[in-house]
């Protein structure tokens, strides 16, 4: 379960009534790769992420983590097989402290009958791991603070800590910088660059500077289809991408 794994999408199709929200998407994201997914609003990014996370079931196609097909699996089973994620709007538990949140996340993978009744905060080793992870994301000083007192940006950092502490094999990051202050954004970008190579990451982000700087490869979604995949330079210079998304504005 530990370690990193590749993520493969094979011919994914998702229809909502007459709308083709995901149009035969196929891509293999290698172990340790940081793959960014960009595209205009309504291009189908969230639908695609939903299918990878298990909240939506594709109408056609297959999803594999490593060699294992997880196509029919639900959210819980996928999370247990090593898929971690953060949400576009941070989903955190208001009534818990940051430390409790991260410890719960860490222990959630091993909720055995014995772990069922074990006190959440009773294992010193896990507490240390959780504190260290909070430190990594920059919340080391706030371990005892209730989540509802965190700022928006801090909640996003907490979500990342909750995902990282489980040592995910594949990590889905849905707009980790949305709504962050410039300072927080910079911290998050720094964090992401440190994560490169340590786990397979699918990143959805509107901040193009960050995407072009960090991503190993970039996939461009338009009307549900992947119209281009390539390095930052490939994508910048792709006329199709410019037409559909980046526009003619000057990109540095």
Partner 1 sequence: MILSTCVLVPTVCFWFDAPHLVTLATRIAILSIAAISLNLLIGTCGLVSFGHGMYLAIGAYSVSILQTTGVDNGFAHFSAATVVAGIAAALIGPLALRTSGIAFIMVTLAFAQMFFYLMISLRVFGGDDGMSLAGHSLLGPLDLGNRLGLFEVSVLLLAAITALSQLFNRSTAGYALRAARQNVRRAESLGLDIHRLRRIVYVVSAVLTADAGSLFANLNSYVSPSYSAWPMSGDLILIVVLGGMGSVFGPIVGAIFLLSVESFAPGLSEHWMLPYGIAIVWIVMTARHGLLGALLALRPAGKERRQ
> Site residues (CB under 8 A) for partner 1?
53, 55, 74-76, 79-80, 85, 87, 91-96, 100, 104-105, 107-109, 111, 115-121, 144-146, 162, 166
Least CB distance to partner 1 at residue 110 (A) = 9
- 140-161 b/e with 16+ CB inside 10 Å = b? eebbeeebeebeebbbbbbbbb
The nearer residue to partner 1, 11 or 74, going by C-beta atoms, is 74
33 within 8 A of 217, measured Cβ to Cβ: yes
User: Of 78 and 214, which CB lies nearer to partner 1 in the complex structure?
Assistant: 78
38 versus 79: smaller Cβ distance to partner 1? 79
Structure tokens at 196: 């490169």
Shortest approach of partner 1 to residue 36 CB, angstroms? 21
Q: How far is the CB of 196 from partner 1 (least distance, A)?
A: 23
CB of 16 to partner 1, least distance (A): 20
Nearer to partner 1 among residue 2 and residue 252 (C-beta) = 2
Q: What's the Cα-to-Cα distance from 99 to each of 104, 118, 140, 154, 162, rounded to whole Å?
A: 8, 17, 9, 13, 10
Q: Helix crossing, 152-164 with 98-108: angle to 10°?
A: 30
Q: How far apart are CA 111 and CA 120, in angstroms?
A: 11
- Cα separations (Å) of 44 from 25, 117, 148, 156, 201? 11, 42, 31, 22, 18
Smallest separation (angstroms) from partner 1 to the CB of 170: 13
Taking the least distance from each CB to partner 1, the nearer of 2 and 116 is 116
Angle at CA of residue 208, ends 214 and 216, nearest 5°: 25
Q: Name the CA dihedral angle for 236, 239, 244, 249, rounded to a multiple of 10 degrees.
A: 60
Minimal distance, residue 199 CB to partner 1, in Å:
16
Of 166 and 215, CB closest to partner 1? 166
Q: How far apart are CA 61 and CA 69, in angstroms?
A: 11
């Amino acid at each position: 379960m530990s370690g990193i794994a590749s993520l493969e999408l094979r011919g994914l199709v998702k229809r909502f009534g007459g709308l083709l929200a995901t149009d035969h998407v196929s891509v293999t994201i290698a172990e340790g790769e940081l793959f960014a997914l960009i595209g205009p609003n309504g291009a189908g990014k969230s639908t695609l992420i939903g299918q990878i996370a298990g909240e939506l079931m594709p109408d056609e196609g297959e999803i594999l983590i490593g060699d294992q097909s997880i196509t029919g699996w639900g959210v819980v089973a996928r999370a247990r097989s090593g898929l971690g994620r953060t949400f576009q709007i941070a989903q955190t538990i208001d009534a818990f402290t940051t430390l409790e949140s991260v410890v719960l996340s860490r222990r959630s993978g091993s909720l055995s009958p014995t772990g069922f009744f074990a006190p959440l905060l009773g294992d010193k080793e896990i507490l240390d791991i959780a504190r260290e992870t909070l430190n990594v994301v920059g919340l080391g000083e706030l371990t005892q603070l209730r989540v509802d007192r965190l700022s928006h940006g801090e909640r996003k950092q907490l979500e990342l800590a909750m995902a990282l502490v489980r040592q995910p094999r594949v990590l889905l990051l849905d707009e980790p910088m949305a709504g962050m202050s410039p300072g927080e954004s910079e911290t998050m970008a720094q964090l992401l660059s440190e994560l490169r190579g340590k786990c397979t990451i699918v990143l959805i982000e509107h901040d193009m500077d960050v995407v072009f700087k960090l991503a190993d490869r970039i996939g461009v979604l338009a009307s549900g289809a992947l119209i281009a995949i390539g390095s930052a330079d490939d994508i910048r210079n792709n006329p199709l991408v410019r037409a559909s998304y980046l526009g003619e504005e000057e990109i540095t």
